[in-house]
Amino acid sequence: MIKVIDYTKNPLTLMGKVAAKCWDSNPSPQIGIDCIESNHGRILEYPDITVEISDYSARCIRELYTHIIGTSRIQQSTRYVNMNSFDYYVPDSITNDKQAKATYDKCMVNIMKSYSILRELGIPKEDCANLLPLGSNTKIVLKINGRAILHMAELRLCNRALKEYRELMNELLNTISNLDDEWTKIISYAKPKCEILGYCNEKKSCGKYPQKEEN
């Protein structure tokens, strides 16, 4: 789940005002569009959005944390939040296998029980938290600028990206796109990098586009 906390209104208008200073010209949203299409990414750093992200696994969020430039974030603290009961992510491969799903769920339940027992023994939450699996859901507040959003989309919309992250990326883009018409226009440029390049520059490809050396 993604909840918008704050965002730059009319981001293309802001980008146009900023970029117009370079040429001492009349500002307009079209200048912001021209900057995107000319790959003048610095101007995209001016508009940003702050969102609360929940119901995604700690593993997924850990991958989000590899995106450093253009982002700020804080995360739900397992030192202070009681995690004796938590929701968790279940991959499709496990969901679709009855025996695997039963094994997976049993493990998660046992972790919760063990956590609760440790708490009853007086063990601090910050120490009990060492039991928590990467699949347990967490919550973060993410601030991210327009340039970082498009860069993240280039990598995380790839068919070979972690499936849960692709789901997060699509939800984030859909959420931002619905803020106003100018954000909708910016998000229309959010594509996997193969669609932008016209080829795949990864060593391992999904096959959607030919790899660079095949062009």
CA distance 49 to 179: 10
Q: Which residues of 94-130 are buried (b: 16+ CB within 10 A; e: fewer)?
A: beeeeeeeeebeeebeebbeebeebbeeeeebeebbe
**Residue 56: predicted pLDDT:** 97
Q: What is the mean pLDDT of each run of 10 residues along the chain (215 residues)?
A: 96 94 86 91 95 97 94 93 94 96 97 97 96 96 97 94 96 96 96 90 86 66
**Residue 202: predicted pLDDT:** 86
CA distance 41 to 131: 42
**Residue 209: predicted pLDDT:** 87
The residue whose two tokens read 């991210």 is 144
Distances (CA, A) of 136 to 78, 124, 168: 11, 19, 15
Distances (CA, A) of 14 to 22, 56, 72, 180: 14, 32, 21, 13
CA neighbor of 76 nearest in space, from 66, 86, 91: 86
**Residue 214: predicted pLDDT:** 52
Please list the helix, strand and coil fractions of the chain in percent, rounded to the nearest 5, in that order: 50, 15, 35
**Residue 26: predicted pLDDT:** 87
**Residue 100: predicted pLDDT:** 97
Q: Are 90 and 134 in contact (CB under 8 A)?
A: no
**Residue 111: predicted pLDDT:** 97
3-state secondary structure of 211: strand
**Residue 101: predicted pLDDT:** 97
Q: Which residues of 136-161 are buried (b: 16+ CB within 10 A; e: fewer)?
A: bbbbbbbbbbbbbbbbbbbbbbbeeb
Alpha helices in the chain (DSSP H): 11-23, 29-37, 58-64, 92-95, 98-120, 125-128, 146-156, 163-177, 181-187, 193-197
CA distance 159 to 95: 20
